Structure 1
Amino acid sequence: MNCMNQLRIAWLLPTAGLYWQPLLSEFTRLFPQTTVFAGLFPGFIHGFEESFLLKEVGGMKVMGRNKPSKTYSSFFTYLPPKIIVQLLDFKPNVIFSNAFSLWTLLALLFKPWGKWRVVIICDGSSPGVDYQGSWFRLLLRRIIARITDGFITNTSAGKAYLTEFVKARENSIFARPYLVPDIRALSQTIEESKLDKVKQQHPVFLYIGALFPRKGLHKLLKACSMLQTKGYQDYTVLIVGRGTQHQELESLVKTYNLENQVKLVGFVEYGGLGTYLQNADVFLFPTLEDVWGMVVPEAMAFGKPILCSKWAGAVEMVVDGENGYVFDPHDSEELAELMIRFINNPDLINKMGEKSQQIMASHTLEAVSNSLADVVEFVWNGQQKTV
């Protein structure tokens, strides 16, 4: 096939998060014959309706998930085998399949019949999802890697895991952030009325994400209590999101006497997050473990300095001391000291925020789509790439 843009591309995404939509939309502009197969689909973001072809397969079940903890929970995701019938009907040339899932395994098993190429989407690396201590899972992943045509990963840590543990061919791995934001998608609704009700003191530190132990919010509140002890009260921490830890965090706010500084905003629609990102001075990400952390590049796109946990995959987007600081989330004292730097030196906010925007200038959706086009060409034509 001479025209690359005429290739038929399938994306297999068990859970197609909202943040995928801008990328899938841009990718479809390059490859019009793209179809996204999703186990669960939350609906289109306003403005992205019908920007790519979606087929919701349904039937996805998560089994054996443990109570939310300080690491990723171990669980098994059942995905309906009928995906193969749909793939054989669609006849893709290249399949992008999420991680080492059942759908990935099925796509690889039926490769000889479908004559397609398979690219595995590996967001990154972290102890809770790598299963380095499970010989069975590691063996299975190594077998999968032998018959996989290519890998994409957001991080160099993801590439290291694939080469060192999964034993994937190094020249088949494309490591560069592909989960990057679109400011338009985050700015579909106005949430100013909700923000107006929140009394704020600058600088405003913002967290966006789920509220459960793995996100390290209890450590953040401990850091805030240390600020209180040191006499720092003129700042605000906005916590946007929902989860099982909400009541516990509310209790900690009262215990530490932080009612004037820490505000639990609750859930905000994806299209309204831009209002909070625009309003914030500094973005905080105290996670104890995250394979990526989409909120980090989202905040950077809005020109915000980042205080990022060293256990987030997206920490690779932070140049320590230039567009933010990297910290150990288990060390609340360290986080408190970094927050104090911004409180005492507000000029750092604009300086580091500008650096964040400069970094994001090379991580546009267009650039990512062109990079993915290189992946397609590599697996389809078997061309070598420079690592």
Structure 2
Amino acid sequence: MKDIRIAWLVPSVELGAYWQPVLREFTQVYPNTLFYTGQVWPGFDPEQPGCSAIEIVGETKFVETQKVETGYGRGFIVVSPSIIGRLLKFKPDIVFPQAFSLWTVFAVLLKPIFGWKLAIIYDGSSPNTDFRDSGFRTVARKWLAKFADAFVSNSEAGKQYLMEALGVPESKIMKRVYLVPDAKALQRRLENTEDIELQLKRPTFLYVGRITQRKGIKTLLGACAVLKERGIENFNLLIVGKGDQREELEAFIRENGFEEQVIWAGWVEYGKLGLYFQQADVFVFPTYEDVWGMVVPEAMIFGKPILCSKGAAAAELIEEGQNGYLFDPHNPEDLAEQMLRLIDDPSLIESMGARSREIIAQTTPETAARSFVEATEAIFAQQ
């Protein structure tokens, strides 16, 4: 089985450093693997274990055709057609294309000619990436799905989309969490980084991510304003990230008079994020829409309770009342109530954080790689 040639077609891994440890594990089982992409993450090092399998093919761009106020912008991904030549040269036995990009179309069209197997990987589901309201996209995806021998879905929401919208039989879908952080790498970087000193009240709520409208930070600040109106000020909010909405959000904070409770850390390089996770007490992910949300499992690695938006597919990692709470990202009062639970009862922070660590310990780069190994074995067992 080790001589099987496997090609991955993932148009962009711009924020995908988490693929490195998965490929490290996967290529130990299937060394004849090539991972094609048109965009890699900052600091990409081809010398890292697993990264030698990654080949950059052209350039991937997203062309936005419709801006959505509280969700992903709609549009299409432009990928390089030179992937065809790469596949013809490599002659894979199995292809793992991501979702339904033009690269997936190429893989489907060439499948009858070259006889390779096809397993589509689907990261997650959200309204503006599923396009359920687009008849053309749905019909095109249904057609592509018929040629797939299997699917690997990262989330339950993704699995339900494949079944309900595209008519994929449940027997063809493996639901496995494969978008996972590398706990060892995060903690190793933490050990090699100088400490930071922050003057924090307890509890400190933490947000990490882009400072953009889709991420729902306005709802988080609205929740802080609700607590302020009730005279509750014994907490901090620590915001890590950068983006075009910061000026608007700073104005909102000033208007509502809780500047002293908000700490802006700005952009922090990935290797130092652990220090901020470590110093905070509770992680908040207020996004309006996310096909997953890697920051949620990252926070869980550091043993943090999670207040998670129902708009994030990563919400399925939350056992409500055990390691966190879910809330409506359009309702600041709902989030304020969940924050107040932890402010009023600090003992929950320790117990919920411990449960977060237990849950995420079951999902690692090793288990993610094993999911794709299992998919490969299952496909060839059908022959």
What is the TM-score when the length of structure 2 is the normalising length?
Answer: 0.94
1:15 aligns with 2:12: yes
1:123 to partner: Cα distance: 1.1
Measured in 2, the distance between the counterparts of 1:115 and 1:23 equals 26
Measured in 2, the distance between the counterparts of 1:309 and 1:68 equals 18
| Aligned residue identity for 1:22 | P
1:300 to partner: Cα distance: 1.0
1:310 to partner: Cα distance: 1.0
| Match of residue 346 from structure 1 | 346
Tell me how large the CA RMSD over aligned residues is: 1.8
Q: Which residues of 2 match residues 114-263 of structure 1 at below 5 A? A: 114-187=114-187, 188=189, 195-196=196-197, 198-263=198-263
| Contact persistence 2:21–2:49 (CA under 8 A) | no
Measured in 2, the distance between the counterparts of 1:278 and 1:150 equals 39
Measured in 2, the distance between the counterparts of 1:179 and 1:312 equals 13
1:264 to partner: Cα distance: 2.0
* Superposed CA offset, 1:125-144 (max 9, x none): 11111111111110000000
1:283 to partner: Cα distance: 0.7
Measured in 2, the distance between the counterparts of 1:172 and 1:134 equals 24
| Contact persistence 1:39–1:57 (CA under 8 A) | yes
1:63 to partner: Cα distance: 1.8
1:44 to partner: Cα distance: 4.8
SS in structure 2 of the partner of residue 96 of structure 1: strand
1:161 to partner: Cα distance: 0.9
1:169 to partner: Cα distance: 2.1
Between 44-53 and 307-316, the greater mean CA deviation after superposition: 44-53
1:297 to partner: Cα distance: 1.1
| Contact persistence 1:30–1:369 (CA under 8 A) | no
SS in structure 2 of the partner of residue 110 of structure 1: helix
| Contact persistence 2:207–2:240 (CA under 8 A) | yes
1:202 to partner: Cα distance: 1.4
* Superposed CA offset, 1:98-122 (max 9, x none): 1100001101111123321111111
1:47 to partner: Cα distance: 10
* Superposed CA offset, 1:159-197 (max 9, x none): 11101111112211111211111123334366655x42x
| Contact persistence 1:68–1:213 (CA under 8 A) | no
| Match of residue 62 from structure 1 | 62
Rate the CA distance shift 1:122–1:226 in 2: closer, same or farther, 3 A: same
Between 333-342 and 112-121, the greater mean CA deviation after superposition: 112-121
* Superposed CA offset, 1:40-69 (max 9, x none): 112555797243321111232322354563
Measured in 2, the distance between the counterparts of 1:241 and 1:89 equals 42
Identity across the alignment (%): 45
Rate the CA distance shift 1:361–1:59 in 2: closer, same or farther, 3 A: closer
* Superposed CA offset, 1:322-358 (max 9, x none): 0101111111111111111111111111100111111
1:308 to partner: Cα distance: 0.6
| Match of residue 3 from structure 2 | 6
Between 9-18 and 282-291, the greater mean CA deviation after superposition: 9-18
Measured in 2, the distance between the counterparts of 1:213 and 1:344 equals 30
SS in structure 2 of the partner of residue 319 of structure 1: coil
1:315 aligns with 2:312: no
**Aligned positions, number:** 378
1:370 to partner: Cα distance: 1.6
What is the TM-score when the length of structure 1 is the normalising length?
Answer: 0.93
1:72 aligns with 2:72: yes
Rate the CA distance shift 1:46–1:191 in 2: closer, same or farther, 3 A: farther
| Aligned residue identity for 1:171 | S
| Contact persistence 1:310–1:328 (CA under 8 A) | yes
SS in structure 2 of the partner of residue 62 of structure 1: strand
* Superposed CA offset, 1:272-296 (max 9, x none): 2111112221110111111111111
| Contact persistence 1:68–1:212 (CA under 8 A) | no
Rate the CA distance shift 1:175–1:252 in 2: closer, same or farther, 3 A: same
